[in-house]
Amino acid sequence: MRIRTNDLILRTTTSIIAFILLGFSLYLFFAGHNKPGGGFIGGLMTAAAIVLMYMAYGLETMKKILPWNFRYFIPAGLLIALVTGIGSFLFGQPFLSHTFAYFQFPLVGKTELATAILFDLGVYLTVIGITMTIILTIAEDDEEPASNVE
Amino acid sequence: MTNLVILPIIIPLLAGILVAFFPRKLSIVRKIAQAVFIGNLVIAGYLFYYVKQYGTLILETGGWAAPYGIVIVGDMLAVTLVLTTNIIAVACAFYAPKSLSDQQESYYFYTFFFMLITGVSGAFLTGDIFNLFVFFEVLLMASYALIVLGNGKVQLRESIKYLLLNLFSSMLFVTTVAFVYSVVGTVNMAQIALRVQEVDQKGILTTIGILFFFVFATKAAVFPLYYWLPKSYSVPNPVVSALFGALLTKVGIYSIIRVFTLIFTNEPGLTHSLFILLAGLTMLFGVIGALSTNNVQLIIAYNIIPAVGFMLMGIGIFTEESLSGTIYYLVHDMVIKGVLFLLIGAIVYVAGTSDLRKMNGLIHQYPLLGWLFFLASLVLAGIPPFSGFIGKLLLMRGALSQEEIIIVITGLLSSLLILFSMMRIFIGAFWGEKDSNSSAEHKSTRAFAWPVAGLLTLSVTLGVGAEWFYPTIQSIAQYLMSPEIYIDSVLKE
């Protein structure tokens, strides 16, 4: 048996830093249209926040907090991205045509909403799904060898 | 509706994504896969009809005009190859449940299968050289997953070689695209072609052309770069080998045809005579490989290589007749390599071994399988009524008209040796006394036989009904000889 170490400092800072990371990743995701950022880097940053939680709290706790199978994020993200492209068929436009409009919102005021953000959402989910699948598959591999058969 | 041309790419993609949600519900996934591939075949058939009737179909994705956005170009060559791809995919979709174990199928086999078809169709249809690279990667990623599916020890070893080599050639591809972009300032194929013509293909552009040739020659297994192919194509499951053998090398050949009939056409003395030399060596070395082994899967895998040599020879000679020979041979070879890999899969299944020396007298128990294989061998070797003959005849006539005698002799000799290597399998595995003790139990091969028989019927029709197909093939060759039609239709000038 390994001696249980007390990683109070790591866990306390993680619970703060992980939220800052998640917030920053969402900022990057939405900033992508006009500033550096976008679905890819936003997804990677979100995955980094989750990996930080996993390192501090271990696999069991993390599965309790985030009880999703990240493997389904990959097809879900691809589906969103593809359906955004196919959506233009309904309006008789070529594949992957995008459109935008301006809306008035109570807090932020006049905002440009583009369908490209939906495509980016697909990229975002796919990147999270792939990163987490890779890391968790390798992590689970030596802990419980039988689990990869499911 | 120009969106029709992208449907063969996005239908398999969509289906692949959907089946990834429930990979373990095999009975549903199989039904979906078969239904989608049949539907996709119908759409590809309609696309073929439409393009034949109304001319090249061009989709400007996102509504951006040609040199700025990505164009999907459905010309006759591309849609013919997409149609052939889908025919093979249907046969493989029906063959797969029998050939793969349930566990292998449940590890996302159908998703990767769909992605492979997406990549292949995309590579045929794209009109943008960087997009071609992306679709190459799509199909290669899917093929990496398919080659290790089942994780046998030998598969792991071969997949590392396959992966390393393809990674290297992909890196070279990106580098070459960077070179071409730095010289002509565009990645749209039509505009590259236009600008290369304008500057009369100076030395650096010919160098870039040869670099492109090396990239595609690695994918297509041309002479000095074929060494990775035979082993890595013979180790995965037969249905995977059939997909690889029928589709992947042909994408490389298609890219060579596209790049060297459209873009780099101004220095034929340099580039195209290199092709003829390499084509001859490819034929000889491939067929020598096929004769060197007793592993039946390896024999079929080696037989891909001389076929690549034949197709390259047609590009090298570069007359209308030889190009139509190349295209005829390309379609013929896609179908027949599918047939042969699927048949060999069935033979290995019933014999329980892939060693030719341990097989004997299978014809007594499996007459259908035996005669199908015999017919497929004749088609491959190019015996007159069949499709291999027409393609080779056109190639030989093209070569004779350009007085390339040596390549004609090499081609005929290698045809003879191909027939010999196939007959070795037929004689070794099917002839002989009925062996009473070893293969006593009779295994059902019906599920194997139907997809194979369907493909083989098509292949025989392709040869017997050559008069029916030839005008289409000839018009494609004429189209390829005058690249300005492609450039004008894409850039709308």
Q: B169, B180, B170: which is closest to B209 by C-alpha?
A: B180
In sign, the C-alpha dihedral spanning B5, B6, B11, B12 is: positive
For the cut 90, the answer to whether the pLDDT of residue B285 exceeds it is yes
Inspect the interface and report whether the beta carbons of A94 and B60 lie closer than 8 Å: yes
Q: What is the pLDDT of residue A146?
A: 47
- Nearest Cα neighbor of B262 from B184, B192, B181 is B192
| Helices marked H in B263-360 | 268-291, 296-317, 320-351
What whole-number percentage of chain B has pLDDT above 90? 71
Res A142: pLDDT? 63
**Across B180-187, average pLDDT:** 93
Per-residue pLDDT band at B358 (split at 50, 70, 90):
confident
Give the span between the Cα atoms of B458 and B186, in whole angstroms: 41
Is residue B174 predicted with pLDDT exceeding 90?
yes
Per-residue confidence (pLDDT) for residue B350, from 0 to 100: 87
Distance, in Å, from the CA atom of A52 to the CA atom of B360, rounded to the nearest integer, reads 61
Question: pLDDT averaged over chain B?
Answer: 91
State ipTM. 0.88
Contact between chains at A89 and B3 (C-beta distance less than 8 A): yes
Cβ separation A75–B59 shorter than 8 A: no
Helix (H) or strand (E) segment spanning residue B57 = strand B57-60
Least confident range from A145-149, B270-274, B305-309, B430-434: namely A145-149
Total structural domains within chain B: 1
- pLDDT tens across B138-160, in order? 999 999 999 998 888 999 999 99
Helix H segments across B352-443?
Answer: 367-381, 387-401, 405-425
Closest residue in A to B17 (Cα–Cα)? A75
Stretch B457-482: mean pLDDT, rounded?
91
pLDDT at B198 > cutoff 60: yes
pLDDT value at position B65? 84
Flag whether pLDDT at B423 surpasses 50.
Answer: yes
Query: How far are the Cα atoms of A132, B92, B277 from residue B114, in angstroms, in the given order?
Result: 23, 11, 37
* Confidence at residue A148, expressed as pLDDT on a 0 to 100 scale: 45
Q: Residue B1: what pLDDT?
A: 63
B15: exposed, middle or buried (Cβ count in 10 Å: 0-12, 13-18, 19+):
buried
pLDDT of A149 > 60? The answer is no
d(CA A38, CA B97): 41
Q: Tokens in use for A118? A: 């939906």
- If one compares B243 and A114, the residue with the highest pLDDT of the two is B243
User: Is residue A138 over pLDDT 70?
Assistant: yes
Closest-approach residue (CA) in chain B for A149: B103
Mean pLDDT of B24-37: 93
> Which of chain B's residues have a Cβ under 8 Å away from the Cβ of A77?
none
The partner residue sitting opposite B62, judged by closest CB among A82, A89, A96, is A96
What is the per-residue pLDDT across B237-255, written as a single tens digit (0 to 9) for each?
999 999 999 999 999 999 9
Closest-CA residue to B136 (of B181, B111, B166, B165): B166
Tokens of B103: 């566990």
For residue B19, what are the domain limits? Answer: 2-491
Give buried/exposed letters for B206-242 (b at 16+ CB in 10 A, else e): bebbbbbbbbbbbbbbbbebbebbbbbbbbbbbbbbb
Range from A62-71, B2-11, B363-372, B426-435 carrying the lowest mean pLDDT:
B426-435
Q: For residues B248 and B172, what is the distance between their CA atoms, to the nearest angstrom?
A: 18
Q: How far is A48 from chain B (nearest CA, A)?
A: 24
Q: At what angle do helices B153-184 and B129-148 cross, to 10 degrees?
A: 170
Q: Report yes or no: B279 and B398 within 8 Å, Cβ to Cβ.
A: no
Q: Which residue shows structure tokens 């109070």?
A: A8
Residue of A nearest to B12 (CA): A82
B54 min Cα distance to partner chain A (Å): 19
Which percentage of chain B shows pLDDT scores above 70? Answer: 98
List of chain B residues whose C-beta atoms are within 8 Å of the C-beta of residue A85: 10
The radius of gyration of chain B from alpha carbons, rounded to an integer in Å, stands at 22
Strand partners, A58: none
- Give B439's pLDDT tier (boundaries 50, 70, 90): low
pTM of the model: 0.93
Residue A150 has a pLDDT of 40
